[in-house]
Structure 1
Amino acid sequence: MSGIFIAALLVYFFISFKSMEHAIEVYSTLDESKLPVLYVETNGYIINPMHAYIQDMGNKAVRDMITILPEDRQLKLNIWEYDHTAISAKYEIRSLNLEQLIEKGDIKSIDKDGNNTSIIVPIQNLIKKDQQYLLKVILDTGEKTLNYYTRILWTDKDHTKELEDIAIGFTLCTFDKNEAKNLSTYLESNNIADNNTLAHIDLHNSFNQITWSDTDMKLSGQYYVTLKEYDGLMSEIQIQYESEMEDEGEKTVFDNEDNYVLRYDPSRIYIMDFDRKTHEVYNKKSDSAKNKKLILGIGNDEDISVVTSENKDYIAFKSNKDLWIYEQGKNPKATEIFTLRTNDSLRQNYDKHDIKILSMEENGNVNFLLYGYINRGQHEGKTGIVYYTYDYAKETVIENFIIPLAESYEVIKNNVNRLAYLTKDKRLYMYYKGNIFGIDTNSFEVFMVESGLNDIEFASSESQRYVAYQDPKEEDIYHSRKITHIDLENNIKIDILKNDSYIRVLGFNQDDLIYGEIDEGNAESFTYDSDIPVSAIHITDAETNEKTEYKKEGLYFTNIFVDGIRIKFDEIENSVNGNYRFVKSETIISNKNTNEESEVLGTTNSGKYGKVKYIEINDIGAKEVKYQTAKNYSIERASNIELNISEASEKNHVFYAYSLGHYRGKERTLRDAYRKVHDDYGYVINEDGDIIWNRADKSAIVKINKASDKITEISQLLANANVKEAIQKIDEYTVLNATGMDMISALYYLNKGYPLIAYKNDEINYITAYDQRNITLTDINGNSQTVMGRDDAEKLFESNRNRFIAILP
């Protein structure tokens, strides 16, 4: 064992911060938004609002939106200037991976017509049709240089007007039940959908629920449309807007986000998926506290967090990106500590930020992080992480420091969710880009705990007090003989060591570490799922004392997934041909209690609102809750911390999953990435930003032309390929291991012009055609063909563990 803090003093980042020797408290205000917003006016709609970035974001904002160019490529962008006047502008066009600069130049004129300002980006004929690029517009306002980003696509297959008409029309119709009758043709209502909540709605809900039940909900203000994806046939469209309703004279406001997955067909447009998330803005209703419940309103669990002080006197809660503290006792009081809401609905609906509560102290002080894109105040236009403290006695929000990070909000969110832990002596530990680092929040000294980690080599406990990681110096994730376990609160580090086997971090069940053990003799033996199995699963307590070992003679465990109190995995065994054979799927379930938050956060029914969220509080009887906001905003300590860290290079290929307009995470195999987004008609991209699977982008009927010739071509490729590799590049082709993907999803690859390799009893076959009822299966020589019903084919390939290899040209 050794103390982290002492060991970590050996390594420091460069840190810059302002002097804190102030004799007088320095107060400020969180100014309203001031930076210009660019947008595209097309097809009669205002779409793709582009917000200003102070930092150079590279390609980190590349998936925010896509803009379709006019035929002459002269892209007109309108500018809402706000408090900054555009003086000059220029642009750059690069490949999505930034490796190629296609063109750059000045934007000759900035046209002003009354209150309207616009520019035209004069894109030359250096770009190719039907290929996506990254456009960066640099706006100079004299006071600031601002960066704006969008992908662009030049195509002859521009059906975006028809697609936008459907999406916008659908959203608007939901507020009028008579108009909405036309929507019935798109609905897939069933008995499984929850028709007692407005928090989350999709096509499986009832007509009444999709049209806001009996609430008489109204659209409030402007809606904002973003074209998230488009490839000529498939489109993702996101619409953000406010709505409101009145109940007994009190107005309630809601934030809403509608996401559509649409597919164009000359005969009609298909809504493949529709998903609406609604969250009530907590607004001090007169009846919000009663019957031992503080009613937060309509909302989703992922938008709410609750932390209670140890003495139970104070409850800090985040509801829909707004932070509050509720004080129990004789005179109950609720104080809004922090919000980025503005009077401008365009900025207010730009919600690429969030808040994490770090601690709720017994004296009423709250420590918290704001992270993502900051849309107002002195850091407007920056992305990063800001550490704040609410001083209860002074009723003051204190900005401690900002860590600027040129990274997308959702990647920052993913890292914050992995680790952001504040100890009682005020050391803040975080994880970012494969680095575990700490900050002494008293002195602002920054220290490194570990670097060079891949995400899969690291895990944190539910409380984030405990972390564990493999030896980052090893060649890959399967050959570590050491796992380091750290109690961050007490600065205690313990190394778990093996001399005759390898070990892998699998995750945590609350504060219990779960790790796998790999036999030395199997450390090079991959399964068809691109995984090396473990021979034992170990569960240890917070001091790394072993609690459970799961092991079976002759069996190995693969595809291990830790999901809260459950450990899911497949059991396999060696087969006669030297490969592994599937035995069965298994689950280990812990009997541990749930976390503290789930004990105080609940759901109740509230008349026409349906299900609403509440926090359990002490009985206040006939008393009313006093509502207020924080009185002061202090920047006396406000400092800037620059992290000079580099991102750890991936030891294995990774796949990035997206759905419904959002990043869902990265995975080591295509199977795991596709499973994250399959139900939401999502897509998966590779490390270069190319889409390599898209559920919505699949024709109803496909037949491969010159199938025999292509089978011969593929056979030559396979001779040079390792079919157990997750992804590999051979000549101009990409070979993908699609094992574990269901057959219907894998048929996507026939749309790319090549047969799908399908294994039947370890023999290679090729799927060369499909329609709504059948598939055509061709033998390895390309001679014999068998037509099978799709249901029978699905069962056949499921019995063979869905072993598929796909080819992308």
Structure 2
Amino acid sequence: MSESSLPVLEAVVDGKEINLMHGYASDMTDGAIRENITPVHIDEKTFSINVIEDHTQTKKLMVEVFDDDGKTSLETAQVITFSDSNLEKSPSAGFINAADVIGAGSFGKNGDAKLAKIILTGDYAEGREYPAKITVITSESRRIYYYTRLKFLKNPQVDEKIDFIEFFHKSTFDKAEVRDIEKYLETTGNADETSFAHVSINNSTELVSYNMLSPVEVYREIPTITECEDSTISASLDFVIKVDTGNGISYYNVTENFRFMYTADRVYLYGYDRYMKQIFDLKQTSLSKSEFKLGVTDPSDVDMVISKDKNRAAFTYDGNLYSYDVLSNTLTTVFTFEEKETDYRRDSYGAHDVKILSMSDTGYIYFMVTGYMNRGAYEGRVAVVLYTYDPNTALIQEQAYIPVTTSYEILKSELIDFAYCNSKQVFYFGIYDTIYAYDLVGKSFSVIAADCKDKFVYSKEGGYLAYDSDDSESIIMLKLESGRKTMLRAGNNKIIHVFGICKGNLVYGRGNKNSICVNEDGTAVQMYTEVNVCDSEGEVVKNFTATEGEISKVTVKGNVTDMTVVVPADNVRGYKYKNSEQIISSLKDEKAEIRLSTRTTDKMMREYYITLPDTIYMAEIPASDKTKSMVVNQDTAVRFTRPDYYTGYFYTYAFGKLVGFSTNAGEVVVLADDNAGSVIDMDGVVVWKRGTAGRNKELKINFPDKAVSSKEAFNEALSILLSSKSVIAARKYDRMNQGVIDYISDFVAKSAGIPVRLEEMEYTQMKNFVSAGFPVIAVTEEGKPYIVYGYNDTEVKLFDPGKGEKTSLSYKKFDKEMGDSDWYYIAFY
């Protein structure tokens, strides 16, 4: 695989280098890319860019600024004359001690740098974000694309904020200086003090300062700003440390996340999280227990398989794939982007995943690489690539290449967490709410299930997919290895629907076709009369049938299936809660042949190991090998476009990473609040951002002074919401014919506000929408609407359209009024 060659960029604001940006080989059309934010002084509208070259020379640079929809271009600034950068003089990033590097040059060099000064002339709103695309044109007329978001602020104070990050960071390495940051911590008695893998603001000073480790910093990257206001900031810092563990020297990738408010008087640290992950080192294999040491890490991305004869094992770790041959006692690095003697900034950029699909007894592996390609033929592209590895020839061979025009973070959300390649060379995978089968021999693909969000499940244990038919009259169970299908029929005038997988078994329900309730906002709720659990052959092993009422909601988690039973009621929704039921499946305590285990020591605390079967004995450290070459087949490209039905998703970003996505905006708002992040829609428009609600707000609205019936109350609330946008609807809302969001969108232009339905979001998060100047409709679990038009420290200000009266409720009483479940809000962003 060829070395990485694309330049990397840095923004320079207030004399501080921030936001390392990696280049894309094609224009990313997705407006939802949110890797960093570059603050810009609104009065000056200038900032600089460091272009750090290696094998590629830059002759021109352009910065194009877009409206917040990511589509409307506002202006383009061009730079063709560069000045020398002072990058090499900056203490903020790079090697701390070149002698500490793992092998000669494994963390690379900065390369040559050029400085481009950007001068913007457009009319930009203070405090608003604008997507920006930076295009680098090389001496060979190649275009390379980079992305940031510009935030225009009166006084961003970038220099002071970065200084605090560097002060805090350096203090954690010195037991004497750590006392200077002790006042910023919020140590609690219930914080986990047993691992270095995740340390937070709630941990002790001892753990924040690495306890007994005495780490040495080897490499530090520049900070990345992910959120920024005049006084507050969220930022992350990546670096590498080495530690003498007592059993040798180990190296670790570390990330610190900061969130704080900077004032002239002091700094208020709202959040601090540090994540530490050991770099895999074969020399640290445990011979006493024949285990591969992963060390201090979060093991959630580790994927492991072992052959039936136990002579072959494979595992993924930190974006790399390894294969172990027991008989020859050799560990082969099958796939990695890391390369000695090259550039750490580029090669070790961790924006990809590796997933093992299958492994034969001979060690033949199908595996999939998804994300940003750091180097090689696809350098700078984001893609899904299917490979095979043949241990007999030590070759990896490309089988399918699926390029996309979005970021790694968004691709993770678009890919369905399922992929399989069978012995007939049929590759099953899911993307854009669609399940595909790709014939690797015939180079043809077919759609197995389209528009299948919430309509399909995958059982890894059972080796099958199960999905609803288009007419919901049957469920198809597809055995992935053989291709055999089993049909589960609904029956006359009934529907059937998949709910989940419970210990390898399928959970599904049956209901009457006409048993559908339509909520006040047009949401249809299908009722079910029974829920079944069946095995991989479709045989029912457990059943629940509602003897009174029907089942409105089913959730499957672990070995428990929870069901909500409702009965008819004389209210807007036509039903009310009766009781909850459960189906509990027995747990099978099976010991995996290859598994993760932990050990705890006083110095390193909790560390992880890959444990092999007891029959495997390592007499010596395994030999190290790697694939000798890569064979790229011709015509492996398979291209897909987003179908029209793939829409309505919201994304939660925190510290430049996608931490959640859903069509339920309320769900991702809660996640953003928990992770100090932001929510954006598929166009990149900010929906919600933590910390933007003022302490109090009261909107001036002329409310009607008449009461209406309970069945007309929701329509009245809608009229009030539309009138806040100076809109009088041309027709009355009819919930049986249209959803409420579509109805509002018919009358309110996007530029005036985008309506959104937020399920089960908390009132503390709802305040952000009111603070932005928009009233909010709050609908209780009984379907009763309120207009939220204000709040303060102690209460929520409401208008009851049914009674035609204003009222105020304490937060506790408002929470009780909304109910235990099925409440929601309708708001604008």
Give the TM-score, by structure 2 length. Answer: 0.84
Relative contact order higher in (CA < 8 Å, ≥ 6 apart): 1
Unaligned runs of 5+ in 2: 87-111, 706-715, 723-728
> In the TM superposition, what is the alpha-carbon distance from 1:124 to its structure 2 partner?
2.8
Map 1:226-305 → 2, pairs under 5 A = 226-230=224-228, 235-248=233-246, 250-262=248-260, 269-286=267-284, 288-305=286-303
Q: Which residue of 1 aligns with 2:82?
A: 110
Q: Which residue of 2 aligns with 1:485?
A: 477
| Distance (Å, rounded) in 1 between the aligned partners of 2:469 and 2:155 | 50
Q: Does residue 335 of structure 1 match 2:332?
A: yes
CA contact (8 A) 1:743 1:797 kept: no
Distance of aligned partners of 1:784 and 1:445 in 2 relative to their CA distance in 1, 3 Å threshold:
closer
Q: Does residue 687 of structure 1 match 2:682?
A: yes
Q: Which residue of 1 aligns with 2:691?
A: 696
Q: Between 757-766 and 193-202, report the one with greater CA deviation.
A: 757-766
Residues 329-387 of structure 1: per-residue CA shift (max 9 Å, x gap): 4x533232222124423224521011111222212233322221011222211111222
| Distance (Å, rounded) in 2 between the aligned partners of 1:99 and 1:596 | 53
Q: Which residue of 1 aligns with 2:107?
A: none
Length, aligned pairs only: 769
Alignment-mate amino acid for residue 439 of structure 1: Y
Distance of aligned partners of 1:600 and 1:132 in 2 relative to their CA distance in 1, 3 Å threshold:
same
Alignment-mate amino acid for residue 566 of structure 2: I
| Distance (Å, rounded) in 1 between the aligned partners of 2:415 and 2:407 | 12
| Distance (Å, rounded) in 1 between the aligned partners of 2:704 and 2:601 | 61
Q: Which residue of 1 aligns with 2:91?
A: none
CA contact (8 A) 1:466 1:511 kept: no
Alignment-mate amino acid for residue 45 of structure 2: R
Q: Which residue of 1 aligns with 2:120?
A: 123
Residues 419-444 of structure 1: per-residue CA shift (max 9 Å, x gap): 21111233221112233223334x36
| Distance (Å, rounded) in 2 between the aligned partners of 1:162 and 1:582 | 55
Distance of aligned partners of 1:69 and 1:544 in 2 relative to their CA distance in 1, 3 Å threshold:
same
CA contact (8 A) 2:301 2:316 kept: yes
| Distance (Å, rounded) in 1 between the aligned partners of 2:395 and 2:14 | 48
| Distance (Å, rounded) in 2 between the aligned partners of 1:264 and 1:573 | 54
Residues 384-439 of structure 1: per-residue CA shift (max 9 Å, x gap): 12223332223343444433222321333345552211112332211122332233
SS of 1:285's partner is helix
CA contact (8 A) 2:358 2:421 kept: yes
Selected match of 1:77 from 49, 72, 82: 49
| Distance (Å, rounded) in 2 between the aligned partners of 1:163 and 1:736 | 34
Q: Does residue 670 of structure 1 match 2:665?
A: yes
CA contact (8 A) 2:69 2:685 kept: no
Q: Does residue 50 of structure 1 match 2:54?
A: no
Residues 28-55 of structure 1: per-residue CA shift (max 9 Å, x gap): xx23221101110223432111111112
Alignment-mate amino acid for residue 489 of structure 1: E
| Distance (Å, rounded) in 1 between the aligned partners of 2:157 and 2:805 | 40
CA contact (8 A) 1:735 1:805 kept: no
CA contact (8 A) 1:389 1:400 kept: yes
SS of 1:745's partner is helix
> In the TM superposition, what is the alpha-carbon distance from 1:660 to its structure 2 partner?
4.2
Q: Does residue 717 of structure 1 match 2:714?
A: no
Give the TM-score, by structure 1 length. Answer: 0.86
Distance of aligned partners of 1:594 and 1:464 in 2 relative to their CA distance in 1, 3 Å threshold:
same
Distance of aligned partners of 1:165 and 1:526 in 2 relative to their CA distance in 1, 3 Å threshold:
farther
CA contact (8 A) 1:533 1:556 kept: no
| Distance (Å, rounded) in 2 between the aligned partners of 1:795 and 1:159 | 43
> In the TM superposition, what is the alpha-carbon distance from 1:663 to its structure 2 partner?
1.8
Q: Which residue of 2 aligns with 1:628?
A: 624
> In the TM superposition, what is the alpha-carbon distance from 1:806 to its structure 2 partner?
4.2
CA contact (8 A) 2:652 2:671 kept: yes
Residues 181-215 of structure 1: per-residue CA shift (max 9 Å, x gap): 23333433334332111112222322222222221
CA contact (8 A) 1:653 1:726 kept: no
Distance of aligned partners of 1:97 and 1:265 in 2 relative to their CA distance in 1, 3 Å threshold:
same
| Distance (Å, rounded) in 1 between the aligned partners of 2:564 and 2:180 | 46
| Distance (Å, rounded) in 1 between the aligned partners of 2:545 and 2:656 | 42
| Distance (Å, rounded) in 2 between the aligned partners of 1:345 and 1:438 | 37
Q: Percent identity?
A: 22
Distance of aligned partners of 1:411 and 1:62 in 2 relative to their CA distance in 1, 3 Å threshold:
closer
Selected match of 2:542 from 538, 548, 559: 548
Q: Does residue 214 of structure 1 match 2:212?
A: yes
Q: Which residue of 1 aligns with 2:67?
A: 95
Distance of aligned partners of 1:197 and 1:737 in 2 relative to their CA distance in 1, 3 Å threshold:
same
Alignment-mate amino acid for residue 797 of structure 1: M
Q: Which residue of 2 aligns with 1:603?
A: 598
SS of 2:454's partner is helix
Q: Between 37-46 and 768-777, report the one with greater CA deviation.
A: 768-777
Selected match of 2:767 from 747, 753, 775: 747
Q: Between 537-546 and 212-221, report the one with greater CA deviation.
A: 537-546
> In the TM superposition, what is the alpha-carbon distance from 1:306 to its structure 2 partner?
0.8
> In the TM superposition, what is the alpha-carbon distance from 1:778 to its structure 2 partner?
5.1
Alignment-mate amino acid for residue 586 of structure 2: N
Alignment-mate amino acid for residue 198 of structure 2: H
Distance of aligned partners of 1:525 and 1:263 in 2 relative to their CA distance in 1, 3 Å threshold:
farther
Q: Between 597-606 and 219-228, report the one with greater CA deviation.
A: 597-606
| Distance (Å, rounded) in 2 between the aligned partners of 1:645 and 1:444 | 17
Selected match of 2:568 from 552, 567, 574: 574
SS of 1:402's partner is strand
Selected match of 1:62 from 33, 42, 45: 33
| Distance (Å, rounded) in 1 between the aligned partners of 2:262 and 2:456 | 42
Q: Which residue of 2 aligns with 1:31?
A: 2
Map 1:266-665 → 2, pairs under 5 A = 269-286=267-284, 288-329=286-327, 332-342=329-339, 343-416=342-415, 418-441=417-440, 443=441, 445-450=443-448, 452-463=450-461, 465-471=463-469, 480-498=472-490, 499-526=492-519, 530=523, 532-535=525-528, 536-558=530-552, 560-579=554-573, 580-584=575-579, 587-593=582-588, 600-617=595-612, 618=614, 623-635=619-631, 637-650=632-645, 653-665=648-660
Q: Between 565-574 and 722-731, report the one with greater CA deviation.
A: 722-731
| Distance (Å, rounded) in 2 between the aligned partners of 1:205 and 1:180 | 13
CA contact (8 A) 2:59 2:80 kept: no
> In the TM superposition, what is the alpha-carbon distance from 1:316 to its structure 2 partner?
0.5
> In the TM superposition, what is the alpha-carbon distance from 1:486 to its structure 2 partner?
1.3
CA contact (8 A) 1:451 1:648 kept: no
Distance of aligned partners of 1:622 and 1:512 in 2 relative to their CA distance in 1, 3 Å threshold:
closer
| Distance (Å, rounded) in 1 between the aligned partners of 2:816 and 2:559 | 31
> In the TM superposition, what is the alpha-carbon distance from 1:786 to its structure 2 partner?
5.4
Residues 536-591 of structure 1: per-residue CA shift (max 9 Å, x gap): 33323222333333332344444543334333454433322142323455554332
SS of 2:223's partner is strand
Q: Which residue of 2 aligns with 1:794?
A: 815
Map 1:162-173 → 2, pairs under 5 A = 162-173=160-171
Residues 612-637 of structure 1: per-residue CA shift (max 9 Å, x gap): 111222366682122312150222x4
SS of 1:147's partner is strand
Distance of aligned partners of 1:315 and 1:713 in 2 relative to their CA distance in 1, 3 Å threshold:
closer
Unaligned runs of 5+ in 1: 1-29, 473-478
Distance of aligned partners of 1:578 and 1:532 in 2 relative to their CA distance in 1, 3 Å threshold:
same
Q: Which residue of 2 aligns with 1:476?
A: none
Alignment-mate amino acid for residue 818 of structure 2: F
